[in-house]
Amino acid sequence: MVDSLRKGLRRAAVFGTILVGAACGQEATAPVQPIPEANAGLISDVTGLVGKLLQVKVLERKSAAPANLVASAVIGKAGGVIEIPRTGFRFVVPPNALDSNVTITVSAVKGTQVAYEFAPHGLKFKKPASFQQDLSHTNALLGLNFGLKGAYFKDASQLNPKSGTALINELIKAFSIGGWVTFPIDHFSGYLVSCA
């Protein structure tokens, strides 16, 4: 009976590894539908700070960015949106998340990792903003996105494009909705999508 249980557990572990690998390594095929503006009630479950740096595999883009791709906007009390269409990225700041106008800059990090740097560093939001990534621009397999998570990193030195990994400071619960992955952001530096 113990041997039977062990065999069952091994099969389950192998199957789970295959599914996570598929979610992280296959091309998306389904059409993408835009997702609604961030809903703080839906995306407010943050798993919190990791006590030490944690290594994760980073979701990859289908095509590499030859250099950092940058977008900026002045966002104030009314909220706003910043997009980087080439990478399928959208950043949504809800109304009343900021008390005054702030020039926010988002940089898609060069290469294939789905990683972005945000400025001004240290900016905090009164209501969570929303990181939104169109998965059709990535190698994620739509329908098998349960392994995707958001992650916070302090600076680009924590990214390792050669190994496809990163050392992160915080892991964040993410949601896959209509071909997009989304998670909340309440402070700035860098964020990425982790697939393992």
Does 2 have pLDDT greater than 50?
no
168 closest CA partner among 7, 50, 38: 50
Measured over the CA atoms of residue 80, residue 153, residue 195 and residue 29, the dihedral's sign is: positive
Residue 11, amino acid: R
Q: What was the pLDDT predicted at 47?
A: 43
Quote the CA–CA distance of 187 and 103 in Å, as a whole number. 15
Q: What was the pLDDT predicted at 154?
A: 95
Number of domains in the chain: 1
84 or 8: whose pLDDT is higher? 84
Residue 37, amino acid: E
Q: What was the pLDDT predicted at 3?
A: 52
Quote the CA–CA distance of 123 and 114 in Å, as a whole number. 21
Q: What was the pLDDT predicted at 128?
A: 97
Residue range 45-98, pLDDT digits in tens: 334 444 589 999 999 999 999 999 999 999 999 999 999 999 999 999 999 999
Residue range 113-160, pLDDT digits in tens: 999 999 999 999 999 999 999 999 999 876 555 689 999 999 999 999
Q: What was the pLDDT predicted at 60?
A: 96
Phi/psi of residue 89, nearest 5 degrees: -105, 140
Supply the CATH number for residue 150's domain.
2.60.220.30
pLDDT band at 178 (very low <50, low <70, confident <90, very high): confident
Quote the CA–CA distance of 67 and 107 in Å, as a whole number. 10
Strands (E) in 79-174, as ranges, are: 80-84, 89-93, 102-108, 111-113, 115-119, 124-134, 149-153, 159-160, 165-173
pLDDT band at 40 (very low <50, low <70, confident <90, very high): very low
pLDDT band at 31 (very low <50, low <70, confident <90, very high): very low
Sort strands 102-108 and 69-75 into parallel, antiparallel or unpaired: antiparallel
- The predicted model gives 15-31 an average pLDDT of 42
Quote the CA–CA distance of 37 and 78 in Å, as a whole number. 13
pLDDT band at 21 (very low <50, low <70, confident <90, very high): very low
Residue 32 structural domain: 2-194
- The predicted model gives 148-173 an average pLDDT of 96
Q: What was the pLDDT predicted at 8?
A: 44
| Residues whose CB falls within 8 Å of the CB of residue 131, separated by 6 or more in sequence, listed in order | 91, 116, 150, 182, 183, 184, 185, 191
Does 164 have pLDDT greater than 90?
yes
Q: What is the total residue count of the chain?
A: 196
pLDDT band at 177 (very low <50, low <70, confident <90, very high): confident
